[in-house]
Amino acid sequence: MTVKQVTRTSPNRPPTAEGKLRSGWALLLIGAFAIATLWLTRPVTPVQGISPVAGLLTLKASAQTAMPYGGAIANHQPTLIEFYADWCTTCQGLAPTLAALHQQYGPALNFVMLNIDDPQWRDQIERYGVAGVPHVVLQDGQGTIRETFIGNVPRSVLAQRIQALL
């Protein structure tokens, strides 16, 4: 006995009004979810902070203009020390904020940047208890630590604490 396979084909029916309505609602719902997803996941940082390349360039430029650690400790002036790493995206995002503060308070405050990937700073990393980056330390002219911040810190908070230190 042979078994014959039968395939049924249905004629191509035009969509009904009810089917069109369901398709329309489905597309509308998908569009609403897409817009909500884009809105909720949008960056909330300023445009300059969006580009990782811009943040890295600012970080590198700031490191070049920063005061050497030994000079900052020796001159008995209040000091901001940032422990950072080039690969740290939060450090890159904080770089424009610290650069602006450096311009604003430069003569009155030492700005020091220490790259945690450089082995010469191991003693300082241990002394200041650096466990994550960016790690920002504010110390007075006698070398006493007044404030420590880890992570992204708003400019207004840093400016307020620097003013209090000065």
Instruction: Enumerate the active-site residues.
Output: 88, 91
Measure Cα distances from 125 to 49, 55, 120, 122, 141 in Å: 27, 23, 10, 5, 20
Length of the chain: 166
And the tokens for 10? Answer: 């249905």
Contact 83, 138 (CB under 8 A): no
And the tokens for 91? Answer: 């450090």
